[in-house]
Amino acid sequence: MDRAPEETTEIRARLLAHKAELRRRVTTIHEHARNPLDQDSAEQAAQIGNIAVVSALETEAVQQIADIDAAIQRLDAGTYGICVSCGEAIGEGRLKVRPAATQCRDCAELDGRRG
Ligand SMILES: [Zn+2]
């Protein structure tokens, strides 16, 4: 897929901005997770429940950061915007919503992912 250099620059800037936001989210999650469990037991139980949620959120954010890094690598390699499963172009509309998407909508749906 041929992209103008300025378009590639814009996509890269968008990906990096998204990555920075995810990094901030992970930092915030860590700060929440570090809260000491020195409350009464009911509060502790709630905290432990929160930690499970928090670690799921963190895993998701870390995965998204990895996806963005992979997208930037594909941008450098000139394969950005091409579905890794079928080799067809991923629609521009989809890339706007999910800049790190590696699959076209059809393949993502076949894989049972929402998006
Ligand atoms: Zn595909």
The C-alpha angle 13, 19, 25, rounded to 5 degrees, equals 145
CA of 29 to the centre of ligand 1 (A): 34
User: Collapsing DSSP states into helix, strand and coil, what is residue 42?
Assistant: helix
Residue with more model confidence, 114 or 8: 8
CA of 49 to the centre of ligand 1 (A): 38
Per-residue model confidence as pLDDT tens digits over 84-100: 999 999 998 999 888 89
Q: What is the pTM of this model?
A: 0.74
Q: How far apart are the two ends of the chain, measured CA to CA in Å?
A: 22
Per-residue model confidence as pLDDT tens digits over 19-37: 999 999 999 887 876 665 5
CA of 73 to the centre of ligand 1 (A): 19
CA of 63 to the centre of ligand 1 (A): 20
